[in-house]
Amino acid sequence: MLQQTQVITVIPYYLRFLQRFPDINSLALAPLDEVLALWSGLGYYARGRNLHQAAQLIVSHHGGEFPRDLAAIQQLPGIGHSTAAAIAVFAYGGHCAILDGNVKRVFARCFGIDGYPGERKTETLLWQMAEQLLPREKIQGQIESYTQALMDLGATICTRSKPQCAACPLQPDCVAFREKRIDKLPTAKPRKPLPQKETVLLLLLWRGEILLEKRPPTGIWGGLWCLPEMPLGENAAAYCARHFDLRAHPLPELPPLDHSFTHFKLRIYPQPLQVVTHTLAARENGAIWLTFEDALGAAIPTPVRKLLLPIYNKVCL
């Protein structure tokens, strides 16, 4: 959960998740829909899918016990080098170097390392630094304290903006501080304008229910329940008749909704429709009719939640 997401955002999701899935076995046995429902709103849903798959692999390949070996941990879905090392350190006292975003920032500033940390050459140099700086003596509890201190230093002192250099224990040796390059290191990612995409999402209304479609297991909102998507420029009523075997007439359009992803921006044009008649054929196409309350409790992406909530508050409350 902490990959790409701040602690303050994660905490309520983490607590709810652990309450429902207190151990690996309960997570492995749960339907993916339930896992993603608890993840709904946290974003980067591949993490939830990977976590569920990892739990299943741990049960089937490791007897339900989380592996101790760094290489075995790294083979689990969604776990890279640094995350695997952090697990090995904090769970088992493994003598491993980590390199999360906070640690990269500390190293880049302290040692004056230029170059965007996401580039292979710079990242390789930072990994070499991380390995070299590991405590040589393997004293019980030392590696955990060292690793936590590095992470906390970057998270609370050597922050991205307004770092507290006066309180930093590394200040006397910090190249960036000495050369007045704190705001220049680490080197920022080269900026490219994000491409803009557009789509239409259909809000099909029928006697207090809404039609949701299951997204493919991979790609945008993979495995989540979503409003049916329609290409721009199509006739909504004709599209619904063709794809869902139902008659509907369009209601007044809602304002467009903008949503940003890591690699592109999406403008959503919501199109409400009042369904006049329909058959059960929708279920055969991976779609389902749900009450608004059930839909809001399902695994839905944030933009869909934003579209459903005003209608629910207006119609159902």
Cα separations in angstroms, 213 against 160, 269, 287, 311: 40, 17, 4, 18
CA 129 to chain centre: 28
Beta bridge partners of residue 204, listed in sequence order = 273
| pLDDT given for residue 278 in this prediction | 75
Cα separations in angstroms, 164 against 110, 157, 161, 176: 14, 5, 9, 13
Q: Average pLDDT, whole number, for the chain?
A: 92
| pLDDT given for residue 197 in this prediction | 94
With CA atoms as reference, report the closest residue to 77 among 27, 8, 144: 27
Whether 172 and 276 share a structural domain = no
pTM (2 d.p.): 0.78
Point out the least confidently predicted range of 95-99, 234-238, 286-290: 286-290
Distance CA 241, CA 248 (A): 8
Tally the domains of the chain: 2
Q: Find tokens 């602690």 and name the residue.
A: 7
> What residues contact 313, with CB distance under 8 A and at least 6 apart?
none
| pLDDT given for residue 287 in this prediction | 86
pLDDT score of 38 more than 50: yes
Give the best-scoring range by mean pLDDT among 104-118, 209-223, 273-287.
Answer: 104-118
Interval 236-263 mean pLDDT: 91
Whether 79 and 142 share a structural domain = yes
Per-residue pLDDT reduced to its tens digit, 148-177: 999 999 999 999 999 999 999 999 999 999
| pLDDT given for residue 5 in this prediction | 86
Whether 144 and 40 share a structural domain = yes
In a domain, 209, yes or no: yes
Buried b (16+ CB within 10 A) or exposed e, 249-264: eeeeebeeeeeeeeee
> What residues contact 52, with CB distance under 8 A and at least 6 apart?
27, 28, 30, 32, 35
User: Percent of the chain beyond pLDDT 70?
Assistant: 97
Whether 13 and 129 share a structural domain = yes
Q: How many CB atoms lie within 10 A of CB 131?
A: 11
| pLDDT given for residue 282 in this prediction | 47
Say if CB 74 and CB 100 are below 8 A apart.
no
| pLDDT given for residue 159 in this prediction | 96
In a domain, 183, yes or no: no
In a domain, 259, yes or no: yes
With CA atoms as reference, report the closest residue to 109 among 61, 159, 70, 148: 159
pLDDT class of 209 with cuts at 50, 70, 90:
very high
Length of the chain: 317
Residue-wise DSSP of 192-223 = -PPPEEEEEEEEEEETTEEEEEEPPSSSTTTT
**Domain stop point among 129, 146, 178:** 178
Beta bridge partners of residue 203, listed in sequence order = 272
In a domain, 207, yes or no: yes
Using DSSP's 3-state secondary structure scheme, residue 183 falls into: coil
User: Percent of the chain beyond pLDDT 90?
Assistant: 79
Interval 227-250 mean pLDDT: 92
| pLDDT given for residue 285 in this prediction | 57
**Domain stop point among 120, 146, 178:** 178
Whether 27 and 171 share a structural domain = yes
pLDDT class of 34 with cuts at 50, 70, 90:
very high
Sign of CA dihedral 87, 88, 89, 95: negative
- How many H-runs (helices) and E-runs (strands) does the chain carry? 14, 8
**Domain stop point among 126, 144, 178:** 178
Region of 283 please: left (phi>0), alpha (psi -120 to 50) or beta.
alpha
CATH number of the domain residue 64 falls in: 1.10.340.30
DSSP annotation of 112 reads T
| pLDDT given for residue 280 in this prediction | 53
Whether 131 and 269 share a structural domain = no
- On the CB side of 316, how many CA atoms lie within 13 Å of its CA? 18
Whether 170 and 216 share a structural domain = no
In a domain, 1, yes or no: no
CATH number of the domain residue 248 falls in: 3.90.79.10
Give the range of the structural domain holding residue 64, as residue numbers without chain letter.
7-178
In a domain, 2, yes or no: no
Q: How many CB atoms lie within 10 A of CB 290?
A: 17
